[in-house]
Structure 1
């Protein structure tokens, strides 16, 4: 009796191959869902080098894979981004290589033009028309800033990433202005931080940054909306300090990215844009030093070789002095004979001159010269005395004149030095006064910004009971009279303390509610 467990076929169930089952499922799904529209949130988005786009469509309970082929991806008016609410039009199909189904998307569009997207596009067009996105307005970043100002949350991972990257590349001084990076206060605090950094006085107790970084981690459109506010974009555009925008991940784009001087895809990349790599600079310096040493060595070698080449072209020393040595030997041989002939000639001339000389004639000449010399000696002493006296008087007059002129010259030099010191003191005083005036103006601007008067300009009021500020309902009900201070003046409201009114009564005139 066959019990059906001998390994042979059992029953009449048909057998299918894996490919047959996969093809059957594919035909069923493509036949039933050949054209569908699906609404969902874009999750993971991948763009490989092939040009196709792979993404996930999700809601709160399920995830559907999708693909946009390269030809359609390039023609799409709206590129899918993570977190975007979209309506995708296409067809369902299967990918038998992984036993999964997916949607081949032919068209993708936002899920209705929402209020946020419409507002963002309108605001972007307005700012672009004003020229705030123009490339010529963007300032160049400093090559190596001394102080870097960072506008971000002090408790998030962003500031740690920036500080860690700066420490690795080139340590710099960092001043952090803590702000809220999402929510209602985000835009006001970020704009105030940018303006506050620009209002700092260079060289003050708190150094004014040379570069600003506005940074935040990734998030949804709603999370990043504070950086799409007009007040933030205008503050970034008006910044006199070069500014780097590092808001969100690489695919996130906000209005501050368009007006910033540079946009970084991540906060870490912003730190890389801010400073160079110190080790690379040191390596480059060492390389330049080595190149200089090689160039000097090569130059010395070339000049030495040239000197040796020129020395080979010069005649030898023996050849230069040989002819002169030969002439010297010739003249040395002829010298004794020439001396003897010269002595003979001199002796002949002496004997001829001596023949005309007589002792008596010589004595008469000597006597005449002696008398002439004696007469000259008698006249010489008085003449010398007169010359000495005249010279002494002239020397005394010149000495007096020289002392007076020296005193006048010294006085003139001292007067010039005194004038120079006075001018320098005046310039230093003027610069000090100007610096103090600038610091006073900056402090006054900070006072105006932080004072309650600025709050009154936004529609608030201060309630006082006499000299006391009323901050609660109970104090207001107990007050006899209240004084309201608005931005343009004060108003006094008289009345009596509020009494408990019955259900059908209406408040009397003058009663404070």
Structure 2
């Protein structure tokens, strides 16, 4: 083929095996696998010291990061199972010592370390991590004094989050028994090691979720003294957030007086020791009784003092008041004057009444009474004669009758009403006659002249 030197091995266009050449062409994947085996066989497990950079945890639960120092960077991966066993939450900028297996990632032609265990590189790194977490939580307001809750004066139930086997719980119970016997509910947890932070956080949240009579009025989170690593559980973010979110007042009693954890900052009150937490939780019962008795005595003294002062004021007023005779003298005199005026008034009233009675008695003489009686009798007889003359019986006596319809019995006052009634009853002076209404005759006789009415009596 023109333009291509086919006889030169370095410039061949087509690859072909040459005599004596035992170097087979490798695929990229094959080379990657060979390199992977070489790296893993050569290094195996190593411990690397470096600073965490670019830490992130993905949805699958795995975590990816870089470890770097002044001269190099290596990628790292922590599988989900190992992430959950870490004793702290990795953060960028923290120097750590990572233990794991050096391997390669063929997909990117990169070498990396698969981290099985990670530890902080000394107390300096631990303190740096602590300060970072403290600044982060403080920025969220978890340590603000305005959010602190007041402790109950005399809690009926106290919840304690601590190890059930250590000396801490015994010290708390003994101190409470000495000061003021109180109901205690212990939520047993691990206070150190893997999973301890989760147990403490769940215990605090569990107390907060209790309702009804078993709900504690106060919670004590306690642990004995130890190194900063021993107390690190109470610096974990999960524990601090659980303590800050609890609606029950919390006393943090972690370590000794010089030990301070983030849990102390999030709690409503920090106690220097677990025993001091018990002292802060309840008052001394004997002192409380003495104080109540003292208040009772002061109350009684105040009552007596008011009585004494009232009696003194009353005595002073009595001394300045005028005598009884001086106060009642004018009233007595006025009473005597009114009594005398009443007697005179009664005498005048009796005399006037007697005169009126005498005048009335003169008008009641028998002759005057007989004249008045005769006049009244005459007027009555005249009225009675008038009533008899105007009554219906006197009209019947003169030959008239009145007509009633049957069977209703109502008065018939017209011919039309009589024709409609049909049956009639004629009432006369000495009885009644039943009659039926028939057809009227062709001609009627002339009506008889009415007799002259009798002279009506004159009313007197």
Q: TM-score w.r.t. structure 1 length?
A: 0.44
Q: TM-score w.r.t. structure 2 length?
A: 0.49
Structure with greater proportional helix content: 1
**Which protein has the larger Cα radius of gyration, Structure 1 or Structure 2?**
2
